[in-house]
Amino acid sequence: MKRIKRHIAIYIALLIVVVGIMIWLRPKSDYRPRTFEEIEADGVLRIVTDYTPLSYYLQGDSLSGFDYELARMIGQRSGLALEITPEVNLSKSIEGLKTGKYDIIARQLPVTSEIKEDLAFTVPIQLNKQVLVQLKESKGFKKLIRNQLDLAGETLYIVSDAPTRLRINNLAREIGDTIYIKEEETYGAEQLIMMVATGEIGFAVCDKAIAEQMSKDYPQLDCNTDISFTQFQSWALRKNDSTLLDSLNRWILDIQKEDKYKKLYDSYF
């Protein structure tokens, strides 16, 4: 009996050692938040953006998107090479920003008091608002929702972790009724809009700019019912990146004075 107990103790001790070695050998992230001086020394600016026709989009062999093009202008002005990563999930983008995997989130984020607690924002890049995406009236479909009071009891699909959720919750309180929210963890706004267009889901909520871009390819869609007020939208950085923020703001403000930027902005918005 004593020998069995001794063997068990040895096995447990060996197991602890093996587990400890596995944890110690586990690959660790090479990323950490960098200062602006370190970014300049590396010569590379790490950017994460959304994968939508508005931000960053691969069509054939060509990359396009407003945020992608603006990032390229910033790269030319700053002399920094760009490392651009598309990421649909906003939470993963924010996590990557905080761990130093990315230096900038280059996607249109509404500047709200809630999100400003966690992130720093650039100067405004555009004005935008959230809209309801639904099918236009046709035989067999109910009438369009125009009054926000008629959203009571409806289910609205949004991209997972999008700031849109806060606005819909506030709207539910304003109308004094329940609005159900379905958060899509796999797809982005573009896919949700396509699902509305094919009748797979009834309603989606997304940026007006994205909805208008998509409605060019899907004329059966309506995106004229506002869910939020018009808001400033900007890119995001870590709260303590004041030097990078100041430099980025200066680059953006200089670029916004150029005719090239005005043409870019008009082509998307």
pLDDT digits (tens, 9 = 90+) for 129-174: 999 999 997 655 567 999 999 999 999 999 887 778 888 998 999 9
104 SS3 class: strand
User: Which of the following CATH numbers is that of domain 36-127+232-268: 3.40.718.10, 3.40.50.720, 3.40.190.10, 2.40.30.10?
Assistant: 3.40.190.10
Each residue's pLDDT tens digit in the chain (269 positions)? 555 545 455 555 554 544 445 434 444 457 789 999 999 999 999 999 998 888 998 888 889 999 999 999 999 999 999 999 999 888 899 999 999 999 999 998 888 877 888 899 999 998 889 999 999 976 555 679 999 999 999 999 998 877 788 889 989 999 999 999 999 887 888 899 999 999 999 999 998 988 998 898 999 999 999 998 888 899 999 998 899 999 999 999 999 999 999 999 988 87
Sign of CA pseudo-dihedral 181, 182, 188, 194: negative
Q: How far is the C-alpha of 179 from the C-alpha of 175, rounded, in Å? A: 9
pLDDT of residue 74: 96
Q: What is the DSSP letter of 234?
A: E
130-229: CATH superfamily: Periplasmic binding protein-like II (3.40.190.10)
Residue 103, classified by CB atoms within 10 Å of its CB into exposed (0-12), middle (13-18) or buried (19+), is: buried
DSSP 54-102: TT-EEETTEEE-HHHHHHHHHHHHHT-EEEEEE-S-HHHHHHHHHHTS-
Q: Which two tokens stand for residue 94?
A: 């924010």
pLDDT of residue 5: 47
pLDDT of residue 138: 66
Digit-coded pLDDT (tens) for 204-217: 999 898 899 889 89
Instruction: Please report how the helices 208-215 and 189-197 are oriented relative to each other, as an axis angle in degrees rounded to 10.
Output: 50
pLDDT of residue 8: 52
Which residue ranges make up each domain of the chain? 36-127+232-268, 130-229
Q: Which helix (H) or strand (E) covers residue 16, if one does?
A: helix 2-25
Fold agreement (36-127+232-268, 130-229): yes
